[in-house]
Structure 1
């Protein structure tokens, strides 16, 4: 029998449904005698340094003596405080038993104030206080919170009060408060009561009886969140830390399709229904008659991990955005999209905003400190359902902290070919993604693995195998494959030979004169972007440059000018274009040849994203271009002596400690390589093949 029943006793009453309930006999007044207590504990000695107390009649206590405090408590029925059960009581009653009811305002607050805007006194698990380190002032704040909690409790419907009291009646974090407010509880009919109160809000076939018996506190917090009308409301981070199964239960109730003709699942978890709601489309896109886009979105909603290979402009963004928006509404979850390209992040966030969807946030190196801080705050406050970051950002403690406080429902990895050394754009930081997710799941004590969605526009069989093997080895995930074989029938490809550089530019000008449409011109070197853009502008074809080494403000301005049709021509390196969703690009010209066929397919695919638009793709080349290309490739091969230098650098780095974390560039510098990063890029792939074999992270 709980302390609630032992000390106050119970009497039986009967409700209209003949279900036996129990009425707590509380104090004879509206509120019993109580004292609010707050203590200050030394960080080093872990002893009481200060005690503050506030009695129901307004009397205060502010000393350090526990004996005098107990005299002050004489005649009191309840001792109240913020986190008193698991903090203050440990120090107050370390050498003697507690004879009072303990009422903890901390644990009841997320139950009664789950919705934005949250209670003004609450900030994580602390009370906001204008006076620092004054326990009496903190008691005043705690009293305000307690009275507001009691008022909110009394405003709930009789059925809802009875439900929460019945679920939590034997839990020490709640029983003191329930006793103070004279809560009723029932022993039977709880499952039917939940279904009645939450009809249309949860799956009707969820195992409610199991949740009540095995996870009562988590179930109560989950129901409180489900009851909110603002989907941006989130469960506080400290609740998720202490009760990690809250996330699992919300998903079980709201994002696990029963396939049993449930009204909730048939609408809220139906991808076609939500496609119309969020994007206004009646149907998904098909590839040669195959509904791969719909199938991939459906797999994501069902919690599967997947690898989707869709052509550039084939709608892969919608395939992960739709499930992310659905889970944002259903479980208040966050989907983390990892992309190597800052331009992609900004473009997709802007496109969603144009549709009136403000759930997407990006945090990247292009943001100024104020904008970055506001973006972080939006994620922390629950305003974001989609967070776009680069793989490098996973090493940031700030990113880890804000993700720990949110319910992350899925990691989406764009340009997934970057996992493979055989891919066209091997990216070393991609190899850290699996390590981060594994550690994140351990810290969050996740009941089930967090699913992964990988997307790319083109991938060889070896690359596909590398991606699947990576996630199987790192996270024991099996990736379901959705591969399109659709060809871009609206693109026409041409190769034009030029005798020399003068002839090449002359042919480029002719193409500009023939095609008056948004145009991307790709060059291989960053300095050529500005030179060629200036030359075209001088000749009457207004153009802007774009490359990875430009100032971030200039990059954003030039990208926006092209996207908003202020200028029709942009001269860029391969840093531009991935994820840029400009549907009316009618011409792509490769002024310099690409360093791989895969890169060319990616870059040429920026044209004709609107399937109804016929677009042209040209390659301008001279014999000298091919010679330069092969010379560069030969320069980047690793020799035996260079491999030996690398191994020596690794031994030097690990001489003092067994575990280190450093980039390929740092290893190259340790080895004494004084080469430009752009020349080292292919060599990095070889270097990381060696480095990945040494597990000394």
Structure 2
């Protein structure tokens, strides 16, 4: 039976996992390349000869893959053996792919925040194999996304590729058949996509800022993922907020401020208090002028915060208060 493109890639990829103790010292290492495995289970065996053997084991690998290897495994190994040749190989991190592959539920069934949910205890070889399984499921999910909505997957690859640490992860998307956007096409495609889910004026302002910046565009990949399922069942994983603190700031900038332009469909839908009266409170069309004439103004002020804040502002009175605190007028 012919191997799938994903299986072929995994066969050429070093699957890696390490374990560290409370002092930050590596005490166990496991790796898989094709049908071969490499394992070190005793901290006393971590010497120059062992690491030389490990580097030799990894020499034919096309990629290095693991879960959170960019912030954990690779930096730990670099501390004790900075000259290993495997550090020159592109790296695929399944942690960074997970919120993109599964935006409606950021945690893959085998992933909990930074960690893979193990089916074994302190077995880095099995953890490395498990990371490969996670990647295979991410591959399938991302290929399906590309077929269903090409713009989202195109943005993932282009935006990750703008970050030197994520070039290998972006290359993996290329192996899935996702082309690479370059130049002005990247921000133009992002703007076209984001306008469908956000304030158009805010999108234009953000794109102008980014066009003049030399910063990595990788945070926009996670903005794109969240927007692709906006108003559904999704939250930003805590690690994304930690790794890319710009993401919640950008999302707030794009969605939670009212530009007040009548031609902005997003703001007219999400930041006009009268619409909430109509949609949530039985067809009310306007606010009463008395006895509380400030209600509409207060709601407009609060429409620059998330919509649950607007809804709190629009909570109807308790029946016993209705006669003296009538806020709404019937149509």
Q: Aligned to 1:189, what secondary structure does the other structure show?
A: helix
Q: Runs of at least 4 residues of structure 1 off by over 3 A?
A: 29-32, 211-215, 283-287, 318-321
Structure 1 equivalent of residue 52 of structure 2: 67
TM-superposition CA deviations, 1:457-495 (whole Å, max 9, x none): xxxxxxxxxxxxxxxxxxxxxxxxxxxxxxxxxxxxxxx
Structure 2 equivalent of residue 286 of structure 1: 288
Aligned pair count?
295
In structure 2, stretches of 5+ residues that fail to align are 42-49, 326-331
Quote how far apart the aligned CAs of 1:127 are.
0.8
For the 8 Å contact 2:273–2:310, the answer to whether it is kept is no
Structure 2 equivalent of residue 170 of structure 1: 162
Structure 2 equivalent of residue 116 of structure 1: 105
TM-superposition CA deviations, 1:347-380 (whole Å, max 9, x none): x9xx9xxxxxxxxxxxxxxxxxxxxxxxxxxxxx
- Distance (Å, rounded) in 1 between the aligned partners of 2:216 and 2:256: 18
For the 8 Å contact 1:40–1:135, the answer to whether it is kept is yes
For the 8 Å contact 1:115–1:230, the answer to whether it is kept is no
Q: Aligned to 2:218, what secondary structure does the other structure show?
A: helix
Structure 1 equivalent of residue 28 of structure 2: 50
Structure 2 equivalent of residue 530 of structure 1: none
Q: Cα RMSD between the aligned structures? A: 3.1
In structure 1, stretches of 5+ residues that fail to align are 1-25, 305-317, 326-347, 352-580, 584-607, 614-697
Match among 181, 197, 200 for residue 201 of structure 1 = 197
Distance of aligned partners of 1:259 and 1:275 in 2 relative to their CA distance in 1, 3 Å threshold: same
Note the 1:223-234 alignment, pairs <5 A.
223-228=224-229, 231-234=232-235
Structure 2 equivalent of residue 440 of structure 1: none
Match among 114, 118, 134 for residue 123 of structure 2 = 134
- Distance (Å, rounded) in 2 between the aligned partners of 1:265 and 1:232: 21
Q: Aligned to 1:181, what secondary structure does the other structure show?
A: helix
Note the 1:632-643 alignment, pairs <5 A.
none
Structure 2 equivalent of residue 450 of structure 1: none
2:256 corresponds to 1:271:
no
| TM-score, normalised with respect to structure 1 | 0.39
Match among 184, 191, 194 for residue 188 of structure 1 = 184
Quote how far apart the aligned CAs of 1:291 are.
3.2
Quote how far apart the aligned CAs of 1:40 are.
0.5
- More strand, by proportion: 1
Structure 2 equivalent of residue 244 of structure 1: 245
Quote how far apart the aligned CAs of 1:221 are.
0.9
TM-superposition CA deviations, 1:389-427 (whole Å, max 9, x none): xxxxxxxxxxxxxxxxxxxxxxxxxxxxxxxxxxxxxxx
Note the 1:47-446 alignment, pairs <5 A.
47-55=25-33, 57-64=34-41, 65-94=50-79, 95-97=81-83, 98-116=87-105, 118-155=107-144, 156=146, 157-182=149-174, 183-205=179-201, 206=203, 207-209=205-207, 210-211=209-210, 213=213, 214=215, 216-228=217-229, 231-260=232-261, 261-283=263-285, 285-286=287-288, 288=290, 291-303=293-305, 320=309, 322=311
- Distance (Å, rounded) in 2 between the aligned partners of 1:259 and 1:78: 49
Q: Aligned to 2:239, what secondary structure does the other structure show?
A: helix
Quote how far apart the aligned CAs of 1:215 are.
6.0
Quote how far apart the aligned CAs of 1:130 are.
2.1
Note the 1:26-45 alignment, pairs <5 A.
33-44=12-23
Structure 1 equivalent of residue 44 of structure 2: none
Quote how far apart the aligned CAs of 1:83 are.
1.1
- Distance (Å, rounded) in 1 between the aligned partners of 2:249 and 2:268: 21
- Distance (Å, rounded) in 2 between the aligned partners of 1:262 and 1:36: 48
Quote how far apart the aligned CAs of 1:150 are.
2.1
Quote how far apart the aligned CAs of 1:250 are.
0.5
Q: Which has the larger radius of gyration?
A: 1
- Distance (Å, rounded) in 2 between the aligned partners of 1:215 and 1:70: 30
For the 8 Å contact 1:301–1:323, the answer to whether it is kept is no
2:323 corresponds to 1:611:
yes
Distance of aligned partners of 1:108 and 1:238 in 2 relative to their CA distance in 1, 3 Å threshold: same
- More helix, by proportion: 2
Note the 1:12-27 alignment, pairs <5 A.
none
Distance of aligned partners of 1:185 and 1:37 in 2 relative to their CA distance in 1, 3 Å threshold: same
